[in-house]
Structure 1
Amino acid sequence: MPATQRRGRRIMMTPEELDVFLAEQRTCRVATVSADGRPHVSTLWFAWDGTSLWLYSITRSRRWTDLRRDPRIAVVVDTGEEYGELRGAELSGSVEFVGEAPRTGEPDPGLDEVERLFARKNFGLDAMPHDGRHAWMRLTPEAIASWDFRKLAAL
């Protein structure tokens, strides 16, 4: 179970709001730590299954290399233009690598549902296209912090 958010409780999302938010959003920013200790941030599409955030990354990327060496990660999903519209969540923990790497589409029952979800959400397809360059990582968050500045108007 993720750590409980202490600060900003008045504007944090309920678990139901967070599920809807993560299901609707497509893009996240992924922060990793490089071998030299410097942070690296990159952008990815993702899928949320209600428990875990699934990331489909190029296996020859700096992000993949960083996470193979040190699986600790922080991911931010956010939206909004004006201050009073800002909403988001930071999920952190360690990734697990799931399935073949790179993914060529070999049958893997453990990936069937997430690949269907990801393909529908991001490509409008019923089946996942595989290019032999990407592979799956799963983040089951150890901590989640969320915010919805639209709630400030009610305070």
Structure 2
Amino acid sequence: MNQRAHITMPDDDVTAFLEGSRKLQLATINPDGTPHLVTMFYGLDEGRIAFWTYAKAQKTRNLGRDPRVSCLIEAGDDYAELRGVLLYGKAEQVTEHDRVMAIGMLVARRMTPDVPDDLLSQYVEQTGRKRVAYVVERTKVVSWDHRRLA
């Protein structure tokens, strides 16, 4: 077995890694073709990456032109500890208000796991007025776990 195949995470490990992480690096495509890369908190909507952002944000404008995204979730400091999942896909905008708010709650819960739901929902309702939400439909998944090398 080659090293690449050996460090690839099984599907269950990918799922657990996504469930246990909080932030991702989101890449969209600028009008000139360069990548626009930002750190985002995310939630999982039926196993799919879900995030929200301001309606006037650069990433929102980019996704309106081209819905292709890359999502990188990674962990580890030393080479032997590096783990990550790189998802390629298309970000589908969520427009229904209740679903936008639900995704906002998923994201807010990961941002602030110790805040009571009533306070979180106030924050989500308030900030959600200016936000849009997205769910990423995966087209390709690449994963690695260098701990498997030991």
Q: Secondary structure at the match of 1:120?
A: helix
Alignment correspondent of 1:54: 50
Q: Which has the higher helix share?
A: 2
CA separation in 1, counterparts of 2:31 and 2:8? 34
Q: Does residue 123 in structure 1 map to residue 120 in structure 2?
A: no
Matched residue count: 141
What displacement does 1:57 show?
1.4
Post-superposition Cα deviations, 1:37-64, rounded to whole Å, max 9, x if no partner, equal 1111111001124531001112211111
Kept after mapping to 1: 8 A contact 2:51/2:104 = no
**Residue 115 of structure 1: how far off its partner (Å):** 4.5
Alignment of 1:152 with 2:133, yes or no, is: no
Q: TM-score, normalised by structure 1?
A: 0.81
Per the alignment, residue 138 of structure 2 pairs with 141
TM-score, L = length of structure 2: 0.83
Q: For residue 79 of structure 2, what is the aligned residue in structure 1?
A: 83
* Aligned pair partner of 1:70 in 59, 66, 73: 66
Any conservation in 1 of the 2:42–2:106 contact (CA below 8 Å)?
no
Q: Aligned residues: percent identity?
A: 28
SS in 2 for 1:141: strand
Q: Is the 8 A contact 2:43 2:50 kept in 1?
A: yes
Could you tell me how far 1:21 is from its partner in structure 2?
0.7
Q: Distance in 2 between matches of 1:32 and 1:146?
A: 20
Q: Which string of whole-angstrom CA distances, capped at 9 and with x for unpartnered residues, describes residues 56-109 of structure 1?
A: 112211111101111011110001100011000100111100025xxxxx4x2x
Please tell me the root mean square deviation across aligned C-alpha atoms, in Å. 2.2
| Structure 1 stretch displaced more, 12-21 or 43-52 | 43-52
**Number of the residue aligned with 1:11:** 7
Report how far residue 114 of structure 1 moved.
Answer: 4.1
CA contact (8 A) 1:19 1:50 kept: no
Report the AA paired with residue 17 of structure 1: D
Structure 2 residue 17 is matched with structure 1 residue 21: yes
The question of 1:97 aligning with 2:97 is answered no
The match for 1:103 is none
Segments of structure 1 that go 5 or more residues without pairing to the other structure are: 1-5, 101-105
Per-residue deviation, 1:120? 2.5
**Moved segments of 4+, more than 6 Å:** none
